Structure 1
Amino acid sequence: MGPGPISAYPSVLRSMSAPLVGQYDPFMTHAMTETQDLYRQVWGTANEATVLIDGTSRAGIEAALVSLIRPGDRVLVPVFGRFGHLLAEIAERALAEVHTIETAWGQVFPASAIEEAIVRVQPTLLALVQGDTSTTMNQPLDEIGAICAKHGVLFYTDATASLGGNAFEADAWGLDAATAGLQKCLGGPSGSAPLTLSDRAVEVVRSRSKVEAGIREEDDASASDFVRSNYFDLGMILDYWGPRRLNHHTEATSMLYAARECARVLLGEGRDAVIERHRVAGAAMLAGVRALGMDVFGDVAHKMNNVVAVMIPEGVPGDIARQAMLEDFGIEIGTSFGPLHGRVWRIGTMGYNARKDAVLTTLAALEAILRRFGAPVPAGAGVEAAADVFAGRG
Structure 2
Amino acid sequence: MTQVHPPARLLMGPGPVDADPRVLRAMAAPLVGQFDPFMTGTMTETMALWRTVWDTTNEQTFLVDGTSRAGIEAALVSLLEPGDRVLVPVFGRFGHLLAEIGARAGAEVHTIETEWGTVFDPGQVEDAVRRVRPRVVAVVHGDTSTTMAQPLADLGRIAHEHDALLYVDATATLGGNPFPTDTWGVDAATAGLQKCLGGPSGSAPVTLSPAAVAAIGRRTQIEAGLRTAHDVPPAGAPIRSNYLDLAQIMEYWGPRRLNHHTEATSMLYAARECARLLADEGVDAAVARHARHGAAMLAGVRGLGLEVFGDPAHTMHNVVAVRIPAGVDGDAVRGTLLDDFGIEIGTSFGPLHGVVWRIGTMGYNARRDAVLTTLAALEHVLRRAGHPAPAGGGTDAALASYAEAP
TM (normalized to structure 2)? 0.94
Does structure 1 conserve the Cα–Cα contact (< 8 Å) formed by 2:26 and 2:269?
A: yes
- Does 2:343 align with 1:328? no
Q: For 1:353 and 1:92, how far apart are their aligned partners in 2?
A: 36
Aligned to 1:284: 296
Does structure 2 conserve the Cα–Cα contact (< 8 Å) formed by 1:67 and 1:227?
A: no
Stretch of structure 1 that moved more, 292-301 or 208-217: 208-217
Q: For 1:393 and 1:184, how far apart are their aligned partners in 2?
A: 23
Aligned to 1:178: 189
Q: For 2:222 and 2:37, how far apart are their aligned partners in 1?
A: 25
Amino acid at match of 1:96: A
Aligned to 2:279: 267
Aligned with 2:68 (options 46, 50, 57): 57
Aligned with 1:143 (options 149, 154, 160): 154
Amino acid at match of 2:379: E
Aligned with 1:367 (options 379, 386, 395): 379
Aligned to 1:237: 249
Post-superposition offset of 1:212? 8.9
Aligned with 1:343 (options 338, 349, 355): 355
Aligned with 2:123 (options 102, 112, 115): 112
CA RMSD of aligned residues (A): 1.7
Residues 287/327 of structure 1: CA separation in 2 closer, same or farther (3 Å cut): same
Amino acid at match of 1:285: M
Q: Secondary structure of the equivalent of 2:99?
A: helix
Post-superposition offset of 1:204? 1.1
Does structure 1 conserve the Cα–Cα contact (< 8 Å) formed by 2:226 and 2:233?
A: no
Does structure 1 conserve the Cα–Cα contact (< 8 Å) formed by 2:93 and 2:145?
A: yes
Q: For 2:96 and 2:239, how far apart are their aligned partners in 1?
A: 22
After superposition, residues 209-228 of structure 1 pair within 5 angstroms as 209=220, 213=224, 216-217=227-228, 228=240
Amino acid at match of 1:343: V
What is the aligned-residue identity percentage? Answer: 68
CA-to-aligned-CA distance 1:203-257 (integer Å, 9 cap, x gap)? 1111222699475248999986766110011110000000000000000000000
Post-superposition offset of 1:381? 1.0
Q: For 1:127 and 1:386, how far apart are their aligned partners in 2?
A: 36
Q: Secondary structure of the equivalent of 1:196?
A: strand
Q: For 1:49 and 1:223, how far apart are their aligned partners in 2?
A: 32
Post-superposition offset of 1:392? 1.9
Aligned to 1:154: 165
CA-to-aligned-CA distance 1:244-299 (integer Å, 9 cap, x gap)? 00000000000000000000111111110000000000000000000110000000
Aligned with 2:58 (options 47, 71, 79): 47
- Does 2:92 align with 1:81? yes
CA-to-aligned-CA distance 1:24-67 (integer Å, 9 cap, x gap)? 01000000000000011100110001010000000000000000
Does structure 2 conserve the Cα–Cα contact (< 8 Å) formed by 1:159 and 1:180?
A: yes
Aligned to 1:17: 28
Q: For 1:20 and 1:185, how far apart are their aligned partners in 2?
A: 26
Aligned with 1:295 (options 282, 304, 307): 307
Q: Could you list the runs of 5+ residues in structure 1 that have no partner in the other structure?
A: none
Q: For 2:322 and 2:121, how far apart are their aligned partners in 1?
A: 24
Q: For 1:210 and 1:97, how far apart are their aligned partners in 2?
A: 22
Amino acid at match of 1:124: R
Residues 180/220 of structure 1: CA separation in 2 closer, same or farther (3 Å cut): closer
Q: Secondary structure of the equivalent of 1:172?
A: helix
Residues 225/137 of structure 1: CA separation in 2 closer, same or farther (3 Å cut): farther
Amino acid at match of 2:291: R
Does structure 2 conserve the Cα–Cα contact (< 8 Å) formed by 1:42 and 1:263?
A: yes
Q: Secondary structure of the equivalent of 1:208?
A: helix
Aligned to 1:191: 202
Residues 375/25 of structure 1: CA separation in 2 closer, same or farther (3 Å cut): same
Stretch of structure 1 that moved more, 210-219 or 66-75: 210-219
Q: Secondary structure of the equivalent of 1:78?
A: strand
- Does 2:393 align with 1:381? yes
Post-superposition offset of 1:188? 0.3
TM (normalized to structure 1)? 0.97
Aligned with 1:38 (options 44, 49, 66): 49
Does structure 2 conserve the Cα–Cα contact (< 8 Å) formed by 1:211 and 1:236?
A: no
- Does 2:211 align with 1:206? no
Does structure 2 conserve the Cα–Cα contact (< 8 Å) formed by 1:278 and 1:354?
A: yes
- Does 2:137 align with 1:131? no
Q: For 2:244 and 2:360, how far apart are their aligned partners in 1?
A: 30
CA-to-aligned-CA distance 1:114-162 (integer Å, 9 cap, x gap)? 0000000111100000000000000000111111111111100000000
Amino acid at match of 1:258: A
Amino acid at match of 1:335: T
| Aligned residue pairs, count | 394
